Amino acid sequence: MSIRYIQSLPRASAESLSDKVLRQVRREFGAEVEPFTLHLPVPELLAGVWMACRETLLAGSGRRDAKEVVAASVSALNRCPFCVDAHSIMLLESSGHDYSYLITGGKTALIDDPFLRETAAWASATRTPGSPILLKPPFSPEETPSFIGTALLFHYINRMVTILLGPSPLPFTSGLPKKVSMRMAAWFFSGAIRRMKEPGTSLDLLPEAPLPEEFSWARPSAPVAGAFARFSGAVECAGAMALSGEVRKTVNNAVEKWNGSDPGLDNGWCEEAISSLEVKDKPAGRLALLAALAPYRVNESTVHSFSADSPGDDRLISALAWSSFTAARRIGSWL
């Protein structure tokens, strides 16, 4: 599958950071899938997103099928069909049931497993600050870092995937062919899903970093806290490389006021938010703000306007990653 707007993905040379990450991805996730490999232009981001995924969804405490429900439900909330399909496959293998039609159809109340049903409701409320279910989540305190971490990871990944990938990892998008291909894919990933994974073994991919205060929910789990501290550090370095301080300040101010709802039907809100930026910074501000709050509106024109002054796949991935992570951080503040 091609990745939009990326000229060419670099090859991971032997024993490079990217090579070390991809070897772990193949062994423990099951394949080098595009939501990871699209980060290859910036190896530190590839390492960060992998360890955030591994230490929450894969190796963190709590039922794997319930965390896959979080991944699929958050993806449905963000209207990211690629990630809904990808994690419905994982959910099918880990639970033995195909819940994809209930998740995409907004019918999670019909999920027969009570814990999965309550977990889907919690995940579907993660963009509704103040929702009562956020105050009384269905998982235990010990499982909190893994579940919140999984939710925030997919609020990040959904934005990157919506901008850069197609509608589905499957060759068919409906009907019996899709059902058959889902079951074949579930079988393909079954070995990796069932493989035991020791928490924390990905953390040596990146150096230690301080945990930002808004990720205090992760502290009860040293592996999850370590993963998000390192990922956050990599994202901030990437953002500083790709976006000016004024652009980042403007986007942070707009995201800080965001309440989780979809922006207006036109881009007037975006143009107003970036109106104080200098002309040279407006393409970057527009790309970053749309990526954070309305990724489905990022188009070829938006990307080309940014890349005209900031060429390079590494700068594009860095700008998108920083913006997507900024939105995820905001969501974390009300979980």
What gap in Å lies between CA 57 and CA 54, rounded to an integer? 6
How far is C-alpha 326 from the chain's CA centre? Answer: 11
Residue 62, class by beta-carbon neighbours within 10 Å (0-12 exposed, 13-18 middle, 19+ buried)?
A: buried
Is residue 46 classed exposed, middle or buried when 0-12, 13-18 and 19+ CB atoms within 10 A define those classes?
Answer: buried
Other C-beta atoms closer than 10 Å to the C-beta of 315 total: 20
Closest CA to 21 of 2, 41, 40: 40
Q: How would you classify residue 79: left for phi > 0, otherwise alpha for psi between -120 and 50, otherwise beta?
A: left
Give me the catalytic one of 80, 83, 237, 270. Answer: 83
3-state SS of 85-132 is: HHHHHHHHHHHCCCCHHHHHCCCHHHCCCHHHHHHHHHHHCCCCCCCH
Q: Is 83 a catalytic residue?
A: yes
Q: Which residues are catalytic?
A: 83
